[in-house]
Structure 1
Amino acid sequence: MRETKNKPVSILLVEDDDIDAMSVERAMRKMQLFNPVIRAIDGIEALEILRAGQVERPFIILLDLNLPRMGGLELLRVIREDEALRDSVIFILTTSNNEEEIAQAYQKNVAGYLVKSSVNQNFDPILAFLEHYWRLVEIPH
C-alpha cells in the first residue's frame, strides 16, 4: 500500500465504529503506511465521497457490512452498477462471518473478505496482508 507506480494508494475506510476506525489508522501509522485515508460512516456518505471524486485514484475501499442508513452489501451493489465506480477494488472488513454474506460479497467481485475477530482487533496482520497484496498487483487509475 505504500505506492503503486510512484503514486500512493488512497484508502476509503467505510466504518461506522469509531474504535475500529481509530485502530486501523493506528495500525497504519505503526507500520509506517502513510496512505491518504478518508473515512465514511455509512454507505450513503461513502457513495457521496466516491461520486464527488474526493478519493484520489488509485484507491481501495475497506468496507464494513454492518452500517447505518445504507449497509455494505447495498453499497457494493450500487458501486458495481455504477459505470464510473464499478472497477473499484473493495475488501470487506467486517465482524460478520455469515456464509450467505460472504457469498453475496464475492458474487459482487470483492478482492477479499476479512473478518474482524474481536472488539479489541489487532489490525496489523490485515494491513500487512494488504500492503503485500498491493505491492504485487496493478490497480486501476
Structure 2
Amino acid sequence: MGRLSTKDRLKKWSVIQGESCEFCDGNESIEHLFFSCEYMKVVWSKMLMYPHMYHAHSSCRDELEWLIGHCKGKSLKAKMCRASFCCVIYCIWMERNKRIFKNEKKSIEELLLLCVNTIRNKVYSWKNIANTRKNWDLCIEWGLPLSIFKNG
C-alpha cells in the first residue's frame, strides 16, 4: 500500500533502473513523493507561505486533515486552497515524469513559479466572485486582477 505501481512496471520493462525518488534518492512511495521527500517539503513549505495558506507542513494524514478543514465551502479562499493543492500535486507528478522520461529538471523556484502562475490562470476563469474585503486582500496578495469581482 502506498507504493507507486507505475515505477514498479517501468523497472520491470527496463525503462528505469532503480526505485528511488527522482528528487532525493529516498524510497519512493506516495507518502514519500508528495509529503516526506526533502525536495517536496521545500516546495510545500514555500507554496504554503502564500497569503492565507500558511501552516506547518507535516505528515500526509495531517496535511489531508488540514486541507479538508480549509478547502470546504465556496469562498475564494477555499477555492484557491483546493486549486493550490491540486496544482502542486499535478506539478510534482509532471516534474517527476519529466525527470524520468526526458531527463529534464526544474529548480524549486521554477516549479513554484509554474504552480503560482497556473493557480492565477485558473482564478482568472472564475466569474462573479464577491467583492469582499477578504477576497480583495487575497487578490492583492496573490497578484490577481480586481476585475475578477462581480459587478454591482
| TM-score, reference length from structure 1 | 0.26
Question: Which has the greater radius of gyration?
Answer: 2
Higher relative contact order (CA 8 A, sep 6+): 1
Q: Which has the higher helix share?
A: 2
| TM-score, reference length from structure 2 | 0.24
